[in-house]
Amino acid sequence: MRTSRQVVDYSLQKRAVLRDVLAGRVGTYDVCDASPYLKNAARFHGEPTEQRCPICRSENLTHVHYIYGDELRQSAGQARTLAELPVLAMTLREFQVFVVEVCLGCDWNHLVEQFLLGRDGLAEGGPEQGVAEAATAATQERRREAQR
Residue number, 58 or 136, with CB nearest to Zn ion: 58
**H, E, C per residue of the chain:** CCCCEEEEECHHHHHHHHHHHHCCCCCHHHHCCCCHHHHHHHHHHCEEEEEECCCCCCCEEEEEEEEECHHHHHHCCCEECCCHHHHHHHHCCCEEEEEEEECCCCCCEEEEEEEEECHHHHHHCCCCHHHHHHHHHHHHHHHHHHHC
Q: Segment near Zn ion (CB under 5 A), from 35-43, 50-58, 66-74, 123-131?
A: 50-58
Query: Please, which residue, 37 or 127, has the CB nearer to Zn ion?
Result: 37
Of 80 and 142, the one with the shorter C-beta distance to Zn ion is 142
126 lines the binding site for Zn ion (CB under 5 A): no
Question: Smaller CB distance to Zn ion: residue 55 or 67?
Answer: 55
The one segment of 19-27, 46-54, 93-101, 138-146 that binds Zn ion by CB under 5 A: 46-54
Taking CB under 5 A as the rule, does residue 21 contact Zn ion?
A: no
Name which position in 34, 53, 64, 89 contacts Zn ion (CB under 5 A). 53
First-to-final CA distance of the chain: 24
Residue 117 binds Zn ion (CB under 5 A): no
The site string for Zn ion over 88-107 (x = CB under 5 A, - otherwise) reads ---------------x-xx-
Distance, in Å, from the CA atom of 89 to the CA atom of 129, rounded to the nearest integer, reads 10
Positions touching Zn ion (CB under 5 A) are 53, 55-56, 103, 105-106, 108
